[in-house]
Amino acid sequence: MTELSSLELLLTAVLALVALATVFGVILGYAAVTFKVEGNPLVAQIDALLPQTQCGNCGYPGCKPYAQAIVDGEEINKCPPGGQATIDALASLLDVPAPELDAEHGEEAEVKSVAYIREDECIGCTKCIQACPVDAILGAAKLMHTVIADECTGCDLCVEPCPVDCIDMLEIPQTLADWHWQTPLPPAERFARANSDSNIIATDRAA
């Protein structure tokens, strides 16, 4: 009889927990739908065009904050990793003239690079792990670290914090697998740029 009472109490407790979980689940689901904050779709479109290096060269902590800043009126030419191709794509999306890359934020790299840790020199300080914005470095305190090359965006933020200078940025040669045709500029913009280049050449010759 005692065992039966214990079983009944256990079942009652389980059923009560299930009922509570169901009620709270329904409440949370309703709240998620009712109070959902719609994001700006333009921010998502701009973010998709950015290179996702999360390097901070633009002055913002990542690509998504920079995308939001562009929607709020920030210039579109502050992303060195994306380079002129990204600026042109953003200009096309926003239907604005495409400026040149702002040199104050860095220069466009001709070849992509990836971080490489000379593992026999690594002291396991974890400073590079803390600096990596995309969690592309594997390791633990006082143990050797290594870079997951496929995850590395080449932002080089891990290089400066390394106290023993054991991190190199190695160039990744472009192959057919990662080569992409650059989107051509709109005809009007192509004509304007060609006109501008012709004027510069004419001025140089006159000088």
Q: Which residue has the tokens 């979980």?
A: 21
How far apart CA 205 and CA 131 sit, in angstroms, is: 49
Pairing state of beta strands 146-147 and 137-138?
Answer: antiparallel
Q: Which two tokens stand for residue 149?
A: 């090359």
* Backbone phi, psi, residue 146, to 5°: -150, 155
Q: Which residue has the tokens 């709270």?
A: 24
Predicted confidence at residue 196, as pLDDT, reads 65
How far apart CA 86 and CA 63 sit, in angstroms, is: 12
Predicted confidence at residue 183, as pLDDT, reads 62
Domains for the chain: give ranges and CATH numbers.
39-108 (1.10.15.40), 113-171 (3.30.70.20)
Predicted confidence at residue 202, as pLDDT, reads 53
- The per-residue pLDDT of the chain, averaged, comes to 85
* Backbone phi, psi, residue 48, to 5°: -65, -25
Residue type, 116: Y
Q: Which two tokens stand for residue 119?
A: 């593992």
| Residues whose CB falls within 8 Å of the CB of residue 62, separated by 6 or more in sequence, listed in order | 54, 56, 133
* Backbone phi, psi, residue 56, to 5°: 80, 5
Low-confidence ranges of the chain (pLDDT < 50): none
Q: Which two tokens stand for residue 172?
A: 């990744």
How far apart CA 21 and CA 89 sit, in angstroms, is: 48
